[in-house]
Amino acid sequence: MGLKAVHFGGGNIGRGFVAEKLHLAGYEMVFVDVMDSIIEQLQKTPKYTVTEIGAEGKKVNTITNYRAINSKTHEADVIEEIASADLVTCAVGPNILKFIAPVIGKAIDKRTQAKPIAVIACENAIGATDTLAGFIKDSKNTPQDRLSSINDRARFANSAIDRIVPGQKADAGLNVEIESFYEWVVDKTPFAEHGHPDVSAIKWVDDLSPYIERKLFTVNTGHAAAAYYGYARGKKTIDEALSDSDINQLVRDCLLETSNLIVKKHGIPTDEQKAYVEKIIHRISNPHLKDIVERVGRAPLRKLSRKERFVGPASQLAESGDKVDALLGAIEQAFGFVDIEGDEESAELSKILKSSGAKDVVGKVCGLEESHPLFSKIVPIVEKVQKSVK
């Protein structure tokens, strides 16, 4: 019997990144989603293409050997698939992990194979697999008398993923255009004596934390800063924003501050981090990706939260008395990203800014205590933005 992976999330990252790499590694893919339209498309279409776009041109991979199940209507089928699979992955968004945990928990509990299933969350969030595992191990999803033996049935490994998926053409269907560069790093330590899954696209490491923070505080910080400054200044795409010398410098200033943290905290050589920053700015400036600023900036509440791309590094820097001026500038732009069509979080942010005092906003949105050294630096920023939000 061949290798099988069950993947939650039939979106662009799922089809264009995770499934592409697992397909190339020889896995049969089983997509799981609750959206009728995407599941029906996958069920009716025997293949789709992933077009990798880079400076060297385009490369097209054709993806086949997959099935699709709607977990909303066929939960029992999903349980059976996971119970006999080798790997479970997801790319659903950090806020959705609690909704997929129950079915994964039930499936893990049914497993009888000698080798535990590998569970890897592929989300833009620190410790996403730990978060998912926490929901799975909740008493609502796993019998408490089975917790002590859950490692016999499943191993949970955190990952860091890095690949830009721009907005897709309206008539793309299942086909995905994606940047050619990617990084998929996974903690190999949970697999121990069983060995990690055989996926050549994954870089397996003993210590994931440097990779997670370097990626989140460089790629995500830079990408989002370019989006928010670009939006504020009327730019349509990320490459257009970064072709503006002022915005380009503002983004670089943010990454200079985050690089200070990364070098000090993780011992990454300064020259190596500097080269990484240049590579990232070159990547997100790719004019072929045509990445819309509203797409990159969406979900500002999550992006302004405590462990995310702005407040995360700024809070750590502030605790050690280091400079955070550029990150505060980006935080101001993010707070101004309100009432964007199709973005529920931007509408919610607008409501919060209008209905709460500045200190309450900082506590609620950024998750900072009033005693934290960054708190008092963000309060006047929020007060300034509140005067402009109508």
Three-point CA angle 242, 287, 58, nearest 5°: 145
Helix 221-232 with 325-335: angle, nearest 10 deg = 60
CA 103 from centre of chain: 22
8 A C-beta contact, residue 126 and residue 307: yes
DSSP three-state, residue 268: coil
Question: With 0-12 CB in 10 A as exposed, 13-18 as middle and 19+ as buried, what is 255?
Answer: buried
8 A C-beta contact, residue 185 and residue 207: no
Question: With 0-12 CB in 10 A as exposed, 13-18 as middle and 19+ as buried, what is 145?
Answer: exposed
Q: Where are the alpha helices (DSSP H) in 111-220?
A: 128-136, 209-215
- The phi and psi torsions of 61 (rounded to 5 degrees) equal -110, 135
8 A C-beta contact, residue 166 and residue 291: yes
8 A C-beta contact, residue 226 and residue 238: yes
Of the candidates 355, 362, 363, the residue with the CA atom closest to the CA atom of residue 378 = 362
Q: What is the 3-state secondary structure (H, E, C) of 143-173?
A: CHHHHHHHHHCEEECCEEEECCCCCCCCCCC
In sign, the C-alpha dihedral spanning 80, 83, 86, 90 is positive
Of the candidates 164, 180, 318, 170, the residue with the CA atom closest to the CA atom of residue 226 = 164
C-alpha span between 75 and 136 (Å, rounded): 16
Q: What's at 142, amino acid-wise?
A: T
Task: Tell me if residue 215 is catalytic.
Answer: yes
Choose, from 215, 235, 303, 377, the residue flagged as catalytic: 215
Task: Enumerate the active-site residues.
Answer: 215
